[in-house]
């Protein structure tokens, strides 16, 4: 399989709220801008799998998952286009797809529409394009056997990867414990992890990726951040281009986002100039004050990163548990791929062994109380102070 060709059209539609008529019009418009209509994306009689970001159980208002109104619009448009079947599926970080979908309202929407929500459990091996580091990936059978995959991402900040957008959302193509194994394999290297994410996403190669940025998340994302109104929906056949435009609109420097360097290294086009924008103008949507996840600042200037890796304990950021907020549920302990979290007794505040911790931030992602946040170690705090003086 050769390196995927990139159709670098990115469609943007402003959308002021999740009122259904507005969302439906915007999502229909995205399909028109990308391909002349959803019928050109969804072949008649096809089996469609929608893969929303179902990270962990949270309400629609917490903005962890795409809004049910966006899911409804996509399902209806797929059916209008003649899809034979539509299924919604994911492999959440904690719990099942059904439980996460129930909490955010997607399950109710799916039931109303007669759509099944599936939890990825079985895997099959598929070849990766030639030239990638990975020759194949073992991905969820539901994804591999779909005729059309629709990648439905949510705009959120991310402690480990800076942002989670279209490329990162495809991490859910791994079923069950595979996600933890990939975290372990990448260790403390964001670059290694980003390269794997890019290769996985372009192996699955969804027919279209849709980004819900009507209300996204800033701050301590991707689970415990603050909802941030951004007012747009976007879509593209090319995930890197979609992510690049979303970062451009929200003032996130592409140099800070590991995915873009990894995509460039993998031979994909990343530049903004080569992207064809369609739909609504982006100028009125632009913001410059998005609050990052703390990790977005952690490693100081690029020239300092090799030293930071050597001086792990004093010069990097690490997950810190707020003992006043932790309820001792143990979810972080179960999610930790490095077995770096322990609990003195059931129900007590957990402890992190920083020698074992690989800084994957799965614990911060999945803590239902928002009790874990990235914090700079003392050396990094001093370094930043010096830099700001
Ligand atoms: S830090 Fe969060 S996930 Fe971990 S035990 Fe405490 S409340 Fe549960
Ligand atoms: S303690 Fe948290 S950041 Fe460290 S390895 Fe475990 S899950 Fe990852």
The number of the ligand 1 atom at minimal distance from the alpha carbon of 343 is: 5
Report yes or no: 69 and 18 within 8 Å, Cβ to Cβ. Answer: yes
- The predicted pLDDT at position 188 comes to 81
DSSP secondary structure code for residue 316 in this structure: S
Q: What is the CATH number of domain 9-285?
A: 3.40.50.11440
Question: What is the number of alpha carbons within 13 Å of residue 343 lying toward its C-beta?
Answer: 16
Picking from 50, 56, 154, the residue whose alpha carbon sits closest to that of residue 99 is 56
Residue 105 has pLDDT above 90, yes or no: yes
**Per-domain residue ranges of the chain:** 9-285, 298-388
pLDDT tens digit string along 9-19? 999 999 999 99
308 pLDDT tier (thresholds 50, 70, 90): low
Distance CA 352, CA 280 (A): 47
State whether the beta carbon of 321 lies less than 6 angstroms from ligand 2.
Answer: no
**Is 214 in contact with 249 (CB distance < 8 Å)?**
no
Q: Of 198, 203, 270, nearest to 241 (Cα)?
A: 270
Confidence of residue 169 (pLDDT cuts 50, 70, 90): very high
Length of the chain, please?
389
- The 8 Å CB, 24+ separation contacts for 70-73 are 70/18, 70/23, 70/27, 70/152, 70/210, 70/212, 70/214, 70/233, 71/106, 71/109, 71/110, 71/152, 72/20, 72/23, 72/24, 72/109, 72/113, 73/20, 73/23, 73/24, 73/26, 73/27, 73/28
Ligand nearest the Cα of residue 330 is 1
Residue 352 Cβ contacting ligand 2 at under 6 Å? yes
Nearest Cα neighbor of 233 from 9, 15, 1 is 15
Q: Coil, strand, or helix at residue 13?
A: strand
Of the candidates 50, 118, 38, the one whose C-alpha atom is nearest the C-alpha of residue 80 is 38
64 neighbors 227 (Cβ within 8 angstroms): no
Asked if 285 and 232 count as a contact pair (C-beta separation under 8 A), the reply is yes
**Mean pLDDT highest for which of 68-77, 302-311, 378-387?**
68-77
What does the DSSP 8-state code read for residue 3?
P
CB 212 within 8 A of CB 67: yes
Q: Which ligand is nearest to the CA of 366?
A: 1
SS (H, E, C) 127-146: ECCCCCCCCEEEEEHHHHCC
Decide: 338 in ligand 2 pocket, CB within 6 A. Answer: yes
Mutating to test ligand 1, I would choose from 324, 327, 351 the residue with most ligand atoms within 8 A of its C-beta, which is: 327
The confidence score (pLDDT) of residue 33 equals 98
Q: Which atom from ligand 1 is nearest to the alpha carbon of 335?
A: 3
Strands 372-376 and 351-352: unpaired
Ligand 1, atom 2, lies closest to the CA of 367
Does residue 163 or residue 5 have the better pLDDT?
163
| Mutation test residue for ligand 1: of 93, 330, 357, 373, the one with most atoms within 8 Å of CB | 330
pLDDT number for residue 310: 58
| Ligand 2 atom at minimal distance to the Cα of residue 356 | 5
Domain 298-388: state its class.
alpha beta
Q: Model confidence over 238-288: pLDDT tens digits?
A: 999 999 999 999 999 999 999 999 999 999 999 999 999 999 999 999 999
Say what the pLDDT of residue 296 is. 44
> What's the CA-to-centroid distance between 358 and ligand 2, angstroms?
6
Q: What is the pLDDT of residues 119-130, one digit of tens each?
A: 999 999 999 999
Query: Residue 382: its pLDDT value, please?
Result: 78
30 lines ligand 2 (CB under 6 A): no
197 pLDDT more than 90: yes
Pocket around ligand 1: residues whose beta carbon is below 6 Å from it? 321, 326-332, 350, 367, 369, 371-372
- How far apart CA 140 and CA 150 sit, in angstroms, is 14
Ligand with minimal distance to 347 CA: 1
Where do the DSSP E strands lie in the chain?
Answer: 9-14, 47-52, 85-90, 116-119, 123-127, 136-140, 148-158, 162-164, 208-218, 226-236, 276-279, 317-321, 341-342, 351-352, 372-376
**Mean of the pLDDT values across residues 188-216?**
96
Q: How many helices (H) and strands (E) does the chain have?
A: 15, 15
For the CA atoms of 161, 167, 170, 176, the dihedral, rounded to the nearest 10 degrees, stands at -20
CA of 93 to the centre of ligand 1 (A): 14
Closest CA to 53 of 223, 252, 244, 295: 223
Distance 369 CA to ligand 1 centre (A): 7
Ligand 2 pocket residue status of 93, Cβ below 6 Å: no
Q: Please state, in angstroms and rounded to a whole number, the distance separating the CA atoms of residues 227 and 139.
A: 31
Ligand 2: distance of its center to the CA of 31 in Å?
Answer: 39
Expressed in angstroms and rounded, the spacing between residue 10 Cα and the centre of ligand 2 is 35
CA of 321 to the centre of ligand 1 (A): 8
Q: Using 50, 70 and 90 to split pLDDT, how confident is the model at 386? A: confident
Rounded to the nearest whole angstrom, what is the distance from the C-alpha of residue 352 to the centroid of ligand 1? 11
- Which pLDDT does position 93 carry in this prediction? 86
CA 264, 267, 268, 270 torsion-angle sign: positive
Q: Does residue 114 sit in helix, strand or coil?
A: coil
How far, in Å, is the centroid of ligand 2 from the Cα of 239? 27
Which residue's CA lies nearest to atom 8 of ligand 2? Answer: 360
Distance 377 CA to ligand 2 centre (A): 15
Looking at residue 360, its pLDDT comes to 92
Residue for token pair 């969820």: 140
**For ligand 2, mutation pick of 294, 330, 363, 377 (most atoms within 8 Å of CB):** 363
SS3 231: strand
* Residue 314 alpha carbon to ligand 1 centre in Å: 24
**For the CA atoms of 148, 169, 235, 274, what is the dihedral angle to 10 degrees?**
-110
Q: Residue 51 — φ and ψ, nearest 5°?
A: -115, 90
């Amino acid at each position: 399989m050769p390196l995927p060709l990139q159709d670098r059209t990115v469609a943007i539609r402003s959308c002021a709220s999740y009122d259904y008529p507005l969302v439906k019009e915007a999502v229909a418009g995205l399909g028109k801008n990308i391909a002349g209509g959803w019928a050109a994306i969804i072949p008649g009689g096809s089996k469609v799998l929608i893969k929303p970001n179902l990270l962990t159980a949270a309400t629609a208002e917490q903005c962890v998952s795409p809004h049910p109104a966006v899911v409804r619009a996509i399902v209806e448009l797929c059916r209008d286009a003649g899809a034979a079947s539509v299924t919604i599926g994911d492999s959440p970080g904690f719990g099942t797809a059904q439980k996460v979908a129930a909490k955010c309202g997607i399950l109710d929407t799916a039931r109303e529409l007669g759509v099944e929500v599936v939890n990825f459990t079985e895997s099959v091996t598929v070849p990766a394009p030639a030239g990638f580091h990975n020759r194949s990936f073992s991905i969820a059978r539901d994804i591999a056997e779909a005729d059309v995959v629709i990648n439905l991402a949510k705009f959120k900040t991310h402690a480990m990867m800076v942002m989670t957008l279209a490329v990162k959302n495809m991490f859910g193509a791994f079923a069950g414990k595979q996600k933890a194994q990939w975290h372990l394999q990448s260790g403390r290297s964001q670059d290694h992890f980003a390269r794997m994410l890019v290769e996985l996403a372009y192996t699955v190669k969804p027919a279209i990726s849709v980004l819900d940025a009507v209300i996204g998340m800033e701050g301590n994302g991707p689970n415990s951040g603050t909802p941030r109104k951004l007012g747009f929906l976007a879509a593209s056949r090319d995930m890197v281009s979609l992510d690049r435009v979303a970062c451009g609109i929200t003032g996130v420097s592409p140099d800070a986002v590991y995915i873009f360097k990894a995509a460039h290294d993998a031979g994909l086009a990343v530049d903004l100039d080569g992207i064809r924008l369609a739909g609504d103008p982006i100028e009125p949507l632009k913001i410059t004050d998005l609050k990052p996840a703390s990790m977005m600042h952690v490693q100081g200037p690029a020239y300092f990163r090799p030293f930071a890796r050597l001086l792990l304990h004093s010069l990097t950021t690490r997950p810190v548990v707020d003992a006043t907020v932790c309820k001792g549920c143990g979810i972080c302990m179960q999610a930790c791929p490095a077995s770096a979290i322990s609990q003195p007794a059931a129900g007590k505040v957990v402890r992190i062994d920083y020698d074992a911790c690989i800084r994957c931030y799965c614990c911060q992602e999945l803590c239902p109380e928002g009790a874990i946040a990235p914090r700079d170690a003392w050396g990094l705090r001093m370094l930043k102070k010096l830099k700001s003086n």
